Amino acid sequence: MKKLSAKIKEATYENVFVECPYCKKENIYNRVSDLGTIMPISMDVFCEHCKKMFWMTGDLAPYARYRWFMYDLHRLKNNKSYGLYILALCQACEIFMSQAIINKLFDKNAKYRDEEGRFCEKDASGAIINVGAEAYNKVVEEFYENTLTSVVRLTDLYI
């Protein structure tokens, strides 16, 4: 028997909605718990209703992660989930501002670039100790760790 494929009807930051080509019922897959990735997907899945396998394709997972929250807005508004609508909008703003801070502090900062423009990590003397994506992820992770620790300490003062 030939395996059928189905185009994803809707994809949000959390879920993927696709109609089974066999039973024509909608399936909802969570990106993390069901599919195991937050990256754009094309993969074999089993229908939640008829249990037949089909190929799911056509994911639109943008790299600008704040847009993921925007994709949910029309569904939340149509379902009259106004509280969740506002929350999703706030999360989109939070992710956008977070990315703007990273762009300003790291991406456009010559302190974190080598002579060829690649991202790098430097020691106290200015010598390059790490280059590329690994260095970038390490520096950004340390920034968030230090910033969140400071915010937690500040909130402890007021609680």
pLDDT in tens, 121-134: 777 777 777 666 67
Contact between 144 and 152 under an 8 Å Cβ cutoff? The reply is no
Separation between Cα atoms, residue 77 and residue 84, nearest integer Å: 9
pTM of the model: 0.55
Q: What percent of the chain has pLDDT over 90?
A: 32
Residue predicted with more confidence, 131 or 151: 131
User: What's residue 36's pLDDT?
Assistant: 87
Q: What is the DSSP-derived secondary structure letter of residue 119?
A: B
Long-range contact pairs involving 27-34 (C-beta distance under 8 Å, separation at least 24):
29/56
User: What's residue 153's pLDDT?
Assistant: 53
The predicted model gives 114-121 an average pLDDT of 73
User: What's residue 152's pLDDT?
Assistant: 52
List the alpha helices (DSSP H) in the chain: 66-71, 73-78, 82-102, 133-158
Mean pLDDT of the chain: 81
User: What's residue 108's pLDDT?
Assistant: 74
Contact between 95 and 69 under an 8 Å Cβ cutoff? The reply is yes
Separation between Cα atoms, residue 12 and residue 69, nearest integer Å: 7
Residue predicted with more confidence, 141 or 54: 54
Q: Name the band, by pLDDT with cuts 50, 70 and 90, for residue 18.
A: very high
Contact between 57 and 5 under an 8 Å Cβ cutoff? The reply is yes
